[in-house]
Structure 1
Amino acid sequence: MDVKEFLKSIPAFSHLEDAEFDRVVKLAKVSNVKPGEMIDVQGEPAKKLYIMVSGRLSVVLDLDFGVVKKSYMVTTVGPGQMFAWSGMVDNPAYTASGKTLTDCTLLEFEIRQMEKEFEEDPRLGFVLMRAVAKTIASRLRHMQLQLVQQYAVRESAE
């Protein structure tokens, strides 16, 4: 797999220069994962960031209501999308879990290594953190729409 060409196909990375792509490629580890595997687990230390190359993954939020625990699938992740970004924004633990729905190929990045690169190349850090921010904003918007839909369904049932 040509990691550099794949990253170039992702709009959020379009502002990187060739040398910056090379730096990011050196940080990437390609992983192949079978369906049903947990990639990141809510509450565990957030040490990695992932980009989906192929396949689909569900993002699951576990909630503890005291007497009952429930898991909710909040979104799915597909090719070109980033997930498990908690550590990139100084969350010490993953805030949700990722479970593969299909065979998946992932790019895996160690957050500490990325932070070192960002210190050496602030422009690279800016571009990649902007990509993380766009991902977070997109997920927030998706969650807002889900919440509004839930209220709309309740109101129409009353």
Structure 2
Amino acid sequence: MDFLPLVQRERLLAVALDVAFPAGARLFDEGGEADRFWLLRSGEVALDICVPGRHPEALVETLGAGQLLGWSWIRPPYRWDLGARAVTAVEAVEFPAGDILALCAADPELGYALMRRFTAVVAERLQGTRIRLLDLYAPHASGPP
């Protein structure tokens, strides 16, 4: 959150909680209520998606220290688009969505800064997904079929 001025960081941290999850813990499930997000301090979290007839869930991406986890809290219907599981023990800072949305409403500059940051995260992850899909579906041989 060092992209924010000190006063805004302090407002965010005033509602934040330090949390820890053991390896294997489920942080949230696809379709569940998205009411928080995290800044990962250490450990790894796997994002996954439910594929009918397949268990465990299909891995989408793995996140680590310094990365933001969870953006579904930003927009209605406030439901997780993916699921998340701690691959290793995880330490994080947890931000309750209701408190953050209230801070953003009271301080539009803070809201704008957070939306810009989360938009950048979404764009980066979508680009990564695009590249993985190209790797998965691109032809492996060159020349005519």
TM-score by length of 1: 0.84
Count of paired positions: 141
1:109 maps to 95
2:140 maps to 156
| Distance of 2:73 and 2:51 partners within structure 1 | 20
Superposed CA offset, 1:48-92 (max 9, x none): 11111111110011122xxx2452111111111111210113242
1:28 maps to 16
| Distance of 1:24 and 1:102 partners within structure 2 | 26
Q: What are structure 2's unaligned runs of at least 5 residues?
A: none
One-letter code of the match for 1:127? A
Q: What are structure 1's unaligned runs of at least 5 residues?
A: 1-6, 9-13
**Match 2:78 to one of 88, 92, 99:** 92
* Coordinate RMSD, CA, aligned: 1.4
Superposed CA offset, 1:12-47 (max 9, x none): xx2x11111110111211101110001111111111
**Match 1:75 to one of 61, 66, 91:** 61
What is the CA distance between 1:146 and its match in structure 2? 0.6
Name the SS for the 1:156 alignment partner.
Answer: coil
**Match 2:26 to one of 38, 59, 75:** 38
| Distance of 1:17 and 1:156 partners within structure 2 | 48
Q: Is the 8 A contact 1:35 1:101 kept in 2?
A: yes
- Superposition misfits of 4+ residues, deviation over 6 angstroms: none
Q: Which has the higher helix share?
A: 1
Name the SS for the 1:46 alignment partner.
Answer: coil
Identical residues among aligned pairs (%): 23
| Distance of 1:55 and 1:103 partners within structure 2 | 5
| Distance of 2:17 and 2:27 partners within structure 1 | 14
2:127 maps to 141
Q: Is the 8 A contact 1:86 1:93 kept in 2?
A: yes
